[in-house]
Amino acid sequence: MKHICKAIRPIVCMLLAIILCAGVIPAAGAAEPSIVIEPIALNNLDFIRGMDVSSVIALEKSGVVFKNEKGNKEDIFKILADNGVNYIRVRVWNDPYNAGGNGYGGGNNDVNTAALIGRRAAKYGMKLLVDFHYSDFWADPGKQKAPKAWAGMTMEEKTDALYAFTATSLKTIRDAGADIGMVQIGNETTMGIAGENSWYNMAQLYNAGSQAVRGFDPDVLVAIHYTNPENSYIKTLADFLHDYNVDYDVFATSYYPCWHGSLSNLTQVLNYTAQTYGKYTMVAETSYPYTLADSDGHPNTIGEWNNNSGENMLWDFSPQGQANEVRAVMNAVNEVESCKGLGVFYWEGAWITVGDVTGLGGKQYQSRVVLNQNIWEKFGSGWAASYCGEYDPDDGGKWYGGSAVDNQAFFAPDGTALPSLRVFADVLPEGSYRLGDADDSGEIDVIDVTCIGRYCANMPMDIPEDILLHGDVDGDGRLTVIDATWIQRHLANMEVGFPIGIWKQRIPKE
Ligand code: CA
């Protein structure tokens, strides 16, 4: 550490000069909030406030630009981290391409795409959940088709193939720079996995995947993912995992309020697994519309005419309602006994339109939709491209098209973050802050550097000292120009020995 301090001394001097010449420092705290979220007494600050953004690379290739709430273009992974997201989920398909090399769509999420997403998430301090589908395209309760390359294999061969694919994929993703914290062995495997639906074979495949994860890194959590917590069969599945000696850590379920029962039932189901089998639990997928309007010309899962009512669709279709749903689901998981509720992942919170059709009619609407269709086909940014037909003829091959969840994203059709995205930070307990955030703006930026510099130079500031001390990144209890330098290095993507940007809890003064 010492030699680094010496090495940065010239930078410190230069920095001071910049700081002292800097302009006005904004007052602490944000403007009047447009949504209001009550904090949750979370079990710990590592409670997973996760987001699946698997389609984001395909969207960017399609020309989509993401902006923060102020409308400034930024890396979407920075925007997510600045709003409290601490974990990214990404799906992996073995080979989502046809013989001609054309992608099946849905983000064309192969291993290399997952690696790219993992690396960008890690850059902003977010861990990665790798969600293996063990299929070449969507796997869910309705379909669990094995990858093309595994067709005709015996169980023994398939078990070996699943083990090898898991091990090599994880290595590729971590070598790219991702911080893998958890791995899902299969996606929504309620009725089977990789073409197998007998419990004996399912258990064998789960354990092959689990064994690959254990060998890769014993600290990485292994999750099994089911659906339909409203159906008591999910408890039978928890019993099955125990009876067949499946080695796993986290019992995960999807929770979509239009289909999956009440939140009190969700807590009760997760409690069952936590109490009976001592497992961690979580919600691997949830989402909620902020509007019923479509913006890309492809019908949405929840819209004006479908899935928008029912006793568990409790919240308004507005950014406030969307944020309320996320808070409520997090609260339901946080209530799982013995701190066994790990957290919640929001599903595809960035899957917005590649071309806004809002307000268009007649021919204008039609021609924009045709343009969008061409983009979805070319870049795989819709839920399915026609090229998936050879592998998935009865579903994607028939109904291919755009995003079915653009109205459930946290970004408006033009890519600007909605105020509801702030729920991921706003649920944190009172007194939470980000290490390095000396002006309490929620972002780590050059203004923090300037604040610290002015404080060190005894210049007038209207930010209270206990807030300014969030900038004490080296944790020596004092705010010095060394702290400012560390933040400067962090902003320049240079090596820093402290986790700048992570959320911490302020201990109230007696
Ligand atoms: Ca749509």
The set of residues, in sequence order, having a beta carbon less than 8 Å from that of 208 and lying 6+ positions away, is: 159, 160, 162, 163, 166
3-state secondary structure 242-305: HHCCCCCCEEEEECCCCCCCCHHHHHHHHHHHHHHHCCEEEEEECCCCCCCCCCCCCCCCCECC
Q: Which two tokens stand for residue 94?
A: 């073995």
Distance 405 CA to ligand 1 centre (A): 6
Entry pTM: 0.92
Find the catalytic residue in 188, 348, 377, 443. 188
Q: How far is the CA of 1 from the centre of ligand 1 (A)?
A: 52
- 285 as an active site residue: the answer is yes
Residue 416 alpha carbon to ligand 1 centre in Å: 17
Q: Is the distance from CB of 12 to CB of 485 less than 8 angstroms? A: yes
E strand or H helix at 50: strand 48-52
| The pLDDT of residue 510 | 44
CA of 358 to the centre of ligand 1 (A): 11
Q: Of 102, 106, 116, 127, nearest to 46 (Cα)? A: 127
| The pLDDT of residue 32 | 58
Report the separation in Å between the CA atom of 406 and the middle of ligand 1, taken as the mean of its atom positions. 5
Whole-number Å distance, alpha carbon 12 to ligand 1 midpoint, is: 51
User: Is 430 an annotated catalytic residue?
Assistant: no
Tens of each residue's pLDDT in the chain, 510 residues: 434 444 445 455 455 454 444 444 545 444 556 899 999 999 888 999 999 999 999 999 999 999 999 999 999 999 999 999 999 999 999 999 999 999 999 999 999 999 999 999 999 999 999 999 999 999 999 999 999 999 999 999 999 999 999 999 999 999 999 999 999 999 999 999 999 999 999 999 999 999 999 999 999 999 999 999 999 999 999 999 999 999 999 999 999 999 999 999 999 999 999 999 999 999 999 999 999 999 999 999 999 999 999 999 999 999 999 999 999 999 999 999 999 999 999 999 999 999 999 999 999 999 999 999 999 999 999 999 999 999 999 999 999 999 999 999 999 999 999 999 999 999 998 888 999 999 999 889 999 999 999 999 999 888 999 899 999 999 999 999 999 999 999 999 888 888 898 888 776 544
Task: Please give the distance, rounded to the nearest whole angstrom, from the Cα atom of residue 100 to the centre of ligand 1.
Answer: 28
412 CA from centroid of ligand 1 (Å): 13
Give Cα 247 to chain centroid, integer Å: 25
Catalytic residue among 69, 196, 285, 325: 285
| CA quadruple 162, 167, 171, 173: dihedral sign | positive
Residues paired with residue 49 on neighbouring β-strands, in sequence order: 344
pLDDT at 142: 95
Cα 69 to ligand 1 centroid, rounded to whole Å: 22
Half-sphere exposure of 165 (CA within 13 A, CB side): 31
CB–CB of 402/374 below 8 Å? no
| Cβ-contact 383, 372 below 8 angstroms | no
